């Protein structure tokens, strides 16, 4: 499966962008989730503040005018006038003074009316409104008041917001305070009424911008009037604002059945929020583009170094050594990397120099070898020709030497197989001895004794012949007398005993026993080679004994385990 | 004692002379019927003489010894070479080479090898004599059917393909068993080795043609799957004790 690889450039770029977009996204989400509810909360709290304020003010207004109407209704002289049901110049003066005093001198925010139970006496600070004329609206009006007065009319004045009318001076009546006036017997003698102008409300009501509408509600009659737009009034059912953007809060006026209800509209803020959102999005987009550009620049600046490095690496790969990298980029890691790379290149250069030298040496050696090499086939064919000539001319010794020499040469050239049978080893040794015998005639004699049963056992090649060669060259050749080499191979059931014995000059073994490695020195290399190869193969199972003394000859005994080697099965 | 024939191919005149003059051929019951000094000439001589034994070098002018052997009908061959190469030796064994002797050649080894081959040739002759009918229709009696499926397959293959050139490996492949196994199984089950059976079958066929037609020897050799007329003659003589021509004459004189 091929793994998808991406360049460091795109990886870095993607990661930079991810890092940069996280705060932007968080900001966006926060803005979207919290701004709206936050605006709503602000509006609500503003509305609540102004509601509290307004409730307090209306409450104070109510208290004030209740007090005023009570002072009229409890005025003994007024009661007297109404009880008598007639008025003269003196009493009327008193009554008017009292009435005007209660509605505030000079500030005409209200009208005050007084009417006797019969309706005969009608006094007003302004024009007595026909609506209050008991003679015309007797039943209706009384029942109206009675209707209002369901919880002890006598104690506290009735506050009504239903008496909407416009006065002759163009003022709008918004709230009316009505009080029955009773004599000491408890008989109703008349009514006192204070009508408040809408102006007084408009004066102190908060006109906070968030307020869409503010209603004064009379829950005893389910009637409401707008405090912001006093001309609007009517049954509560008619006031129905269905807008999800409206924040509606309501608060009772203490000890009354009145309440103020506020409608605050958040939609303009939301609209402005939406437009600012657009701006915000634009900012985010511009920010993102900026982020991309900055990321690109950053990434480019980082990857350029990598590119330079990889280019150099590639040129190493393709075999040409690049020039050194700049190791002064100002970034610690890059400098380290460039430095290491440069070191590597330097070492590579040195190595290549060395290799070139070695190659040159090798080529030279090979050339020399080729020049000096004699084709072995040529050698063998020539030996065969010599042998043929010897045969044709009846030269038996030449024939024998050429045959045996051919075999010896083959044995030393054939290095592919590490083992051969003892028979082959023995034949080789015998071939060698035959040649030496022809050369030195009677000076060299040999005996071979071998147990036939073990001749097909495989042993390492060239173990007997080198030892025999050693015996002849170092043992017999220096002698003036004829010498004898004995080869014996014995079957010891589990082991094979090979011994090569000569009666030559011998040598001092004291040094060898101290340090077997001194085998290596001088004339004993052949011996050491055999010992070493056997040791490598048989390690602890090898028994190798060397006995020698001056002028007494040398004897080498080798004991090898039989089972360690595979049996060689001949075909015939 | 019957005499067998041999051909020597060797490009070096001294070595060739030495072999011709110093090996006691007659004592070994052998006769050199031809010599050659290059691969092309050697091929011609072998095809013409159809010897029992070929003694050859590998490095030869024209074509090498192994290539030459692969193109000829060879019963026994001895290679004498200065080269010792495992690949050569492996190829040589497939071509029926009995021994691969390295130069310089030890004459004793060569003589031992020749003795071995001669004894094998004698063995073959005696086994042919045993299976010979007393002048019946066929020269050699061969089992038609045996108690083994694979060998029956082999026999039917021989009967079907005897006109073509094929070897043991073709049948082994056909019967889906190994060459070695087929060879020993054939000998055990049929009582005769594969090559004898094939040659015997071809000889029987050729005897039939000799009796019933006037086709000449080359035509009959080709019809019966023999590579050369001389090889046909040699094998025929080996099996029938006379040449094809003598056989035809004897049949006609009887009638």
- Residue A380: its chain B contacts at CB < 8 A? 82, 102-104
Of B15, B17, B21, the CB nearest to A384: B15
At residue A120, the pLDDT reads 81
Question: Nearest C-alpha of chain B: how many angstroms from A425?
Answer: 17
Complex ipTM more than 0.85, yes or no = no
- Please judge whether B83 and A377 are an interchain contact, meaning their C-beta atoms are less than 8 angstroms apart: yes
At residue A378, the pLDDT reads 85
At residue A145, the pLDDT reads 56
Q: Which of B153, B224, B243, B235 is nearest to B190 (CA)?
A: B153
Provide Rg for chain B, Cα atoms: 19
- Please judge whether B12 and A386 are an interchain contact, meaning their C-beta atoms are less than 8 angstroms apart: no
- Residue B59: its chain A contacts at CB < 8 A? 377
At residue B249, the pLDDT reads 86
Which part of chain B has CATH 1.10.10.60?
A: 149-254
Q: Which of A384, A396, A406, A423 to mutate to test the interface with B (most CBs of B within 10 A)?
A: A384
Q: Which of A374, A389, A391, A406 to mutate to test the interface with B (most CBs of B within 10 A)?
A: A391
How confident is residue B16, by pLDDT bands cut at 50, 70 and 90? Answer: very high
- Please judge whether A381 and B18 are an interchain contact, meaning their C-beta atoms are less than 8 angstroms apart: no
- Please judge whether A385 and B82 are an interchain contact, meaning their C-beta atoms are less than 8 angstroms apart: no
Of A376, A378, A380, the CB nearest to B104: A380
Find tokens 């004894």 and name the residue. B119
Q: Which of B19, B86, B93, B103 to mutate to test the interface with A (most CBs of A within 10 A)?
A: B103
CB A558 within 8 A of CB A497: yes
Q: A419: which strand partners?
A: A460
pLDDT in tens, B21-79: 999 999 999 999 999 999 999 999 998 888 999 999 988 999 989 889 888 888 889 99
- Token reading at A215: 């209603």
- Please judge whether A391 and B18 are an interchain contact, meaning their C-beta atoms are less than 8 angstroms apart: yes
Q: B76: which strand partners?
A: B53
Question: Nearest C-alpha of chain B: how many angstroms from A565?
Answer: 23
Query: Which contacts (CB < 8 Å, 24+ apart) does range B86-91 have?
Result: B88/B58, B91/B66
- Residue B104: its chain A contacts at CB < 8 A? 380, 383-384, 386-387, 402-403, 405-406
pTM score of the predicted model: 0.49
Cα B158 off chain centre by: 17
CA dist A111 → A137, A177, A332, A337 (Å): 20, 10, 92, 98
Of B17, B21, B82, the CB nearest to A384: B82
Per-residue pLDDT for B225 more than 80? yes
Of B22, B83, B104, the CB nearest to A383: B104
Question: Nearest C-alpha of chain B: how many angstroms from A1?
Answer: 41
Coil, helix or strand at residue A25: helix
* Gap between the Cα atoms of A343 and A389, Å rounded: 69
Question: Nearest C-alpha of chain B: how many angstroms from A383?
Answer: 6
* Gap between the Cα atoms of A516 and B111, Å rounded: 48
At residue A150, the pLDDT reads 46
CA dist B163 → B8, B159, B212, B218, B220 (Å): 30, 9, 18, 13, 10
At residue A434, the pLDDT reads 92
- Residue B115: its chain A contacts at CB < 8 A? none
Which part of chain B has CATH 3.40.50.2300?
A: 4-128
Of A383, A399, A414, the CB nearest to B103: A383
* Gap between the Cα atoms of A566 and A456, Å rounded: 10
At residue A61, the pLDDT reads 84
Find tokens 């002797």 and name the residue. B101
pLDDT < 50 stretches in chain A: 1-2, 139-140, 149-154, 564-572
- Residue A405: its chain B contacts at CB < 8 A? 104
- Please judge whether A389 and B14 are an interchain contact, meaning their C-beta atoms are less than 8 angstroms apart: yes
CATH number of B4-128: 3.40.50.2300
The conformation of residue A256, written as its DSSP 8-state character, comes to S
Nearest C-alpha in A relative to B108: A403
- Residue B109: its chain A contacts at CB < 8 A? none
Element containing residue A33 per DSSP (H, E): helix A8-73
- Please judge whether A384 and B103 are an interchain contact, meaning their C-beta atoms are less than 8 angstroms apart: yes
Query: How are beta strands A495-502 and A553-561 bridged, if at all?
Result: antiparallel
For chain A, give the mean pLDDT. 80
- Please judge whether A385 and B14 are an interchain contact, meaning their C-beta atoms are less than 8 angstroms apart: yes
Q: Which of A193, A178, A172 is nearest to A113 (CA)?
A: A193
Contact A415/B at CB under 8 A:
no
Contacts of A408 (CB under 8 A, 6+ apart): A428, A431, A432, A435, A465
CATH number of A43-207: 3.30.450.220
Q: What is the DSSP string of A420-476?
A: EEHHHHHHHHHHHHHHHHHHHGGGEEEEEEE-GGGTTBEEESSSHHHHHHHIIIIII
- Please judge whether A384 and B83 are an interchain contact, meaning their C-beta atoms are less than 8 angstroms apart: no
Coil, helix or strand at residue A552: coil
The CA-to-CA distance between both ends of chain A, in Å, stands at 57
* Gap between the Cα atoms of A149 and A126, Å rounded: 26
Q: What are phi and psi of A535, to 5 degrees?
A: -65, -40
At residue A568, the pLDDT reads 39
At residue A152, the pLDDT reads 45
At residue B110, the pLDDT reads 93
- Please judge whether A388 and B17 are an interchain contact, meaning their C-beta atoms are less than 8 angstroms apart: yes
- Please judge whether A410 and B105 are an interchain contact, meaning their C-beta atoms are less than 8 angstroms apart: no
Q: Which CATH number fits domain A446-561: 1.10.3720.10, 2.130.10.10, 3.30.565.10, 3.30.950.10?
A: 3.30.565.10
Print the SS3 string covering B65-132.
HHHHHHCCCCCEEEEEECCCCHHHHHHHHHCCEEEEEECCCCHHHHHHHHHHHHHHHHHHHHHHHHCE
Coil, helix or strand at residue A572: coil
At residue A151, the pLDDT reads 46
Name the more confident of A168 and B202: B202
Query: How are beta strands A543-549 and A553-561 bridged, if at all?
Result: antiparallel
Cα A279 off chain centre by: 32
Give the sheet arrangement for strand A543-549, strand by strand: A444-450, A483-492, A495-502, A553-561, A543-549
* Gap between the Cα atoms of B5 and B137, Å rounded: 29
Question: Nearest C-alpha of chain A: how many angstroms from B50?
Answer: 27
What kind of architecture, by CATH, is found in domain B149-254?
Answer: Orthogonal Bundle (1.10)
Contact A386/B at CB under 8 A:
yes
At residue A312, the pLDDT reads 78
pLDDT in tens, A89-106: 888 888 888 888 877 755
Of B18, B82, B84, the CB nearest to A388: B18
Q: A495: which strand partners?
A: A492, A561
- Residue B105: its chain A contacts at CB < 8 A? 384, 387, 403
* Length in residues, chain A: 572
Q: Which of A172, A274, A146 is nearest to A226 (CA)?
A: A172
Of B17, B21, B82, the CB nearest to A380: B82
- Token reading at A122: 């009608």
């Amino acid at each position: 499966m091929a793994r998808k690889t991406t360049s460091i450039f795109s990886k870095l770029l993607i990661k930079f962008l991810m890092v940069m977009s996280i705060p932007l996204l968080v900001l966006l989400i926060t803005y979207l989730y919290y701004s709206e509810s936050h605006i709503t909360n602000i509006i609500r709290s503003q509305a609540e503040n102004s509601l509290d304020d307004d409730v307090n003010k209306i409450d104070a207004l109510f208290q004030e005018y209740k007090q005023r109407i009570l002072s009229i209704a409890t005025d003994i002289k007024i009661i007297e006038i109404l009880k008598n049901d007639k008025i003269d110049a003196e009493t009327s003066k008193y009554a008017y003074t009292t009435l005007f005093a209660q509605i505030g001198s000079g500030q005409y925010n209200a009208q005050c009316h007084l009417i006797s139970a019969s309706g005969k006496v009608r006094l007003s600070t302004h024009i007595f409104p026909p609506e209050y004329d008991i003679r015309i609206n007797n039943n209706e009006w009384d029942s109206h008041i009675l209707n209002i007065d369901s919880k002890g009319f006598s104690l506290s004045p009735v506050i009504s917001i239903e008496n909407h009318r416009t006065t002759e001076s163009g003022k709008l009546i918004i709230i009316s305070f009505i009080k029955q006036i009773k004599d000491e017997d408890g008989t109703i003698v008349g009514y006192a009424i204070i009508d408040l102008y809408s102006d007084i409300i408009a004066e102190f009501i908060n006109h906070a911008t968030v307020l869409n509408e503010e209603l004064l509600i009379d829950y005893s009659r389910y009637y409401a009037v707008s405090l912001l737009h006093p001309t609007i009034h009517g049954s509560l059912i008619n006031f129905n604002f269905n807008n999800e953007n409206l924040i509606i809060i309501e608060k009772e006026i203490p000890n009354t059945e009145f309440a103020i209800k506020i409608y605050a509209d958040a939609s303009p803020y939301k609209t402005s929020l939406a437009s600012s959102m657009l701006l915000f999005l634009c900012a985010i987009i511009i920010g993102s583009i900026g982020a991309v550009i900055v990321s690109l620049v950053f990434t480019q600046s980082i990857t350029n170094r990598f590119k330079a490095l990889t280019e150099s690496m590639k040129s190493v790969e393709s075999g040409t050594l690049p020039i050194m990298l700049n190791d002064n980029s100002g970034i610690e890691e890059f400098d380290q990397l460039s430095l290491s790379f440069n070191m590597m290149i330097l070492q590579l250069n040195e190595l290549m120099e060395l290799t070139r030298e070695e190659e040159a040496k090798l080529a030279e050696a090979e050339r020399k070898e080729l020049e000096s090499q004699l084709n072995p086939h040529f050698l063998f064919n020539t030996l065969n020709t010599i042998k043929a000539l010897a045969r044709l001319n009846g030269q038996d010794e030449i024939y024998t030497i050429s045959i045996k020499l051919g075999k010896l040469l083959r044995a030393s050239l054939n290095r592919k197989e590490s083992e051969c049978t003892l028979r082959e080893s023995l034949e080789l040794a015998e071939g060698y001895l035959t040649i030496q015998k022809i050369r030195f005639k009677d000076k060299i004699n040999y005996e071979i004794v071998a147990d036939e049963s073990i001749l097909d056992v495989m042993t390492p090649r060239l173990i007997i012949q080198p030892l025999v060669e050693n015996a002849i060259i170092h043992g017999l050749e220096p002698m003036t007398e004829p010498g004898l080499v004995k080869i014996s191979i014995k079957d010891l059931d589990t082991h094979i005993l090979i011994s090569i014995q000569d009666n030559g000059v011998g040598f001092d073994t004291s040094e060898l026993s101290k340090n077997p490695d001194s085998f290596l020195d001088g004339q004993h290399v052949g011996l050491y080679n055999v010992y070493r190869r056997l040791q490598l193969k048989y390690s602890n199972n090898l028994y190798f004994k060397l006995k020698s003394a001056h002028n007494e000859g040398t004897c080498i005994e080798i004991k090898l385990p039989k089972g360690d080697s595979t049996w060689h099965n001949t075909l015939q | 004692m019957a005499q067998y024939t041999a051909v020597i191919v060797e490009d070096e005149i001294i070595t060739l002379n030495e072999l011709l003059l110093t090996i006691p051929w007659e004592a070994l019951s052998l006769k050199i019927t031809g010599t050659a000094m290059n691969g092309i000439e050697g091929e011609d001589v072998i095809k013409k003489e159809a010897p029992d034994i070929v003694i050859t070098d590998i490095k030869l002018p024209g074509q090498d010894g192994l290539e030459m052997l692969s193109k000829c009908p060879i019963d026994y061959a001895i290679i004498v070479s200065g080269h010792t190469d495992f690949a050569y030796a492996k190829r040589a064994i497939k071509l029926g080479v009995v021994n691969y002797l390295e130069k310089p050649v030890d004459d004793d080894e060569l003589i031992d090898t020749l003795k071995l081959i001669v004894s094998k040739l004698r063995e073959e002759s005696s086994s042919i004599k045993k299976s010979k009918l007393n002048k019946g229709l066929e020269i050699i009696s061969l089992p038609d059917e045996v108690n083994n499926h694979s060998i029956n397959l082999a026999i039917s293959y021989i009967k079907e393909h005897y006109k073509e050139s094929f070897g043991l490996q073709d049948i082994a492949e056909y019967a889906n068993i190994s060459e070695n196994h087929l060879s020993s199984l054939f000998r055990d089950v049929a009582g005769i080795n594969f090559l004898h059976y094939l040659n015997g079958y071809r000889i029987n066929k050729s005897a039939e043609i000799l009796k019933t037609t006037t086709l000449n020897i080359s035509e009959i050799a080709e019809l019966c799957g023999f590579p050369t007329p001389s090889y046909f003659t040699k094998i025929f003589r080996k099996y029938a004790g006379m040449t094809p021509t003598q056989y035809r004459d004897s049949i006609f004189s009887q009638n």
